[in-house]
């Protein structure tokens, strides 16, 4: 069975449009509850399954939280509600509280008009494909509420944020601190607004907070990891040492140096890998994606660190890390996984790993990543009205020509967007003009093939 609703990161869409409607989300909660109720692993006789629900700061979260809770309760599942809390916090609390699952209501870095539902397993990891398929299979069945004595209950978890703050702090060496550092922390008016500043402050840093006044409508709006201009400006204004930008649900990270220059996920993963290599703590290699800069692959190779590429999406990075038995990976977009610290990507914990490396070296980000030279990447999106054959003779011919010109100092990535009728053409090479020319030629061949 193919998945109709679940994408690489749960179910997501525009609020009020299928599938992000109260009716569907209630049915989704019921379907998930039915699957969870059927798996009674670790539960005593008569004990109901328990599920944690967290959300980001979107105004639609109120509506969807109520619908999701109703569906779960109708299936006989007890619910714990955290209110706004980062996605990785829900993964952590689900695992540490020995719950059957965790659910996050969030559309991550998307604008406030969007929202989504994503699930975590009892182990704090994203659901297995077979579990998502089992939930989808239940969506075809009508809601049949369990008998009243078996209905689920719901209650608020008042100390959820405090528990997660302590967990984040525990990922930083106990004998180290951030005293003497001035940090700008941009929370994107999202789920980390009442968490991230406390983590860095309690570790000793002076914290200048941005994006900590959510109103339900301003999440990710001109701030956070996807809009870093405000972070750069604040770095210069406050003469801070480092800047940290998170996205709406707290699983993406970008950082800035004292001059306001912003560093992406590739550069931050490199910094973590370099520190672990220097301290003998590197376990295996690093996983990136098809979009990870070739310069990082070459820089890791010079240190003797293996590198592997997964499909785009932190879900696939995680799968390849687990397959290889490695612990460090990430995406250019700022999803970073440190599996020896957490089961999922976590912007706050990733920032602490970078800061640990910089403190140990007593260097800026520019100094610590000086040996990493990123190659120019040109990404063109070609809109198509139908499925485009990427093996079309015109496309294949253009690709061969550009590959011959680039040699071993460049790469080409051609892929269809998973969410829009687009073909993404990426050409990377040492020479920016050559990369631009190659990308434009391949894009034109795609247009001809799709015509």
Which residues are part of the catalytic machinery? Answer: 108
Give residues with Cβ within 8 angstroms of 289, minimum separation 6: 309, 310, 311, 312, 313, 316, 317, 331, 332
For the chain, the 3-state helix, strand and coil shares in percent, each to the nearest 5, are 40, 20, 40
The rounded distance, in Å, linking the Cα atoms of 40 and 92 is 21
Rounded Cα gap, residues 382 and 167, in angstroms: 44
Q: Is 211 helix (H, G, I), strand (E, B) or coil?
A: coil
Give the containing element (helix H, strand E) for 246. Answer: strand 242-246
Side-chain-side CA neighbours of 334 within 13 Å: the count stands at: 28
- Phi then psi for 224, rounded to 5 degrees? 80, -165
Q: How far apart are CA 87 and CA 102, in angstroms?
A: 10
Q: Give 226's DSSP letter.
A: G
From CA 289, how far away is CA 266, in angstroms rounded?
A: 10
Both structure tokens of 431: 């020479």
Structure tokens at 38: 């059927």
């Amino acid at each position: 069975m193919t998945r109709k609703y679940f994408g690489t990161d749960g179910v997501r869409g525009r609020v009020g449009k299928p599938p992000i409607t109260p009716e569907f989300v209630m049915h989704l909660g019921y379907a998930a509850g039915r699957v969870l109720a059927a798996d009674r692993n670790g539960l005593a006789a008569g004990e109901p399954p328990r599920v944690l629900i967290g959300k980001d700061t979107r105004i639609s979260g109120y509506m969807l939280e109520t619908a999701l809770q109703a569906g779960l309760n109708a299936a006989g599942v007890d619910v714990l509600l955290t209110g706004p809390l980062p996605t990785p916090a829900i993964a952590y609390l689900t695992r540490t509280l020995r719950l059957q699952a965790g659910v996050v209501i969030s559309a991550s870095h998307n604008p406030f008009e969007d929202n989504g539902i994503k699930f975590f397993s009892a182990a704090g990891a994203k659901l297995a494909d077979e579990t998502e398929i089992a939930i989808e299979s239940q969506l075809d069945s009508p809601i049949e509420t369990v008998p009243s004595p078996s209905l689920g209950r719901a209650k608020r978890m008042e100390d959820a944020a405090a528990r997660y703050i302590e967990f984040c702090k525990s990922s930083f060496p106990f004998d180290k601190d951030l005293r003497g550092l001035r940090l700008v922390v941009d929370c994107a008016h999202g789920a980390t607004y009442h968490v991230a500043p406390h983590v860095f402050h309690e570790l000793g840093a002076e914290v200048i907070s941005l994006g900590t006044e959510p109103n339900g409508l301003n999440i990710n709006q001109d701030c956070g990891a996807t809009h870093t201009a405000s972070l750069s400006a604040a770095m210069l204004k406050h003469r801070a040492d480092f800047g940290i930008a998170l996205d709406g649900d707290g699983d993406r990270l970008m950082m800035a140096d004292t001059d306001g220059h912003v560093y992406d996920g590739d550069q931050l993963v490199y910094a973590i890998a370099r520190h672990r290599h220097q301290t003998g703590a590197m376990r295996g290699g690093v996983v990136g994606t098809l979009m990870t800069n070739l310069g990082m692959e070459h820089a890791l190779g010079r240190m003797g660190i293996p590198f592997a590429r997964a499909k785009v999406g932190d879900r696939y990075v995680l799968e390849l890390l687990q397959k290889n038995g490695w612990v460090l990976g990430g995406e250019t977009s700022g999803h970073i996984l440190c599996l020896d610290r957490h089961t999922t990507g976590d912007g706050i914990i990733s920032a602490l790993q970078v800061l640990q490396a910089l403190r140990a070296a007593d260097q800026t980000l520019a100094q610590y990543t000086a040996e990493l030279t990123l190659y120019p990447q040109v990404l063109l999106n070609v809109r198509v009205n139908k499925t485009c054959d990427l093996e079309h003779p015109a496309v294949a011919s253009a690709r061969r020509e550009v590959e011959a010109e680039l040699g071993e100092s460049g790469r080409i990535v051609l892929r269809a967007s998973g969410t829009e009728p687009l073909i993404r053409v990426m050409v990377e090479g040492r020479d920016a003009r050559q990369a631009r020319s190659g990308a434009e030629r391949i894009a034109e061949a795609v247009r001809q093939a799709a015509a």
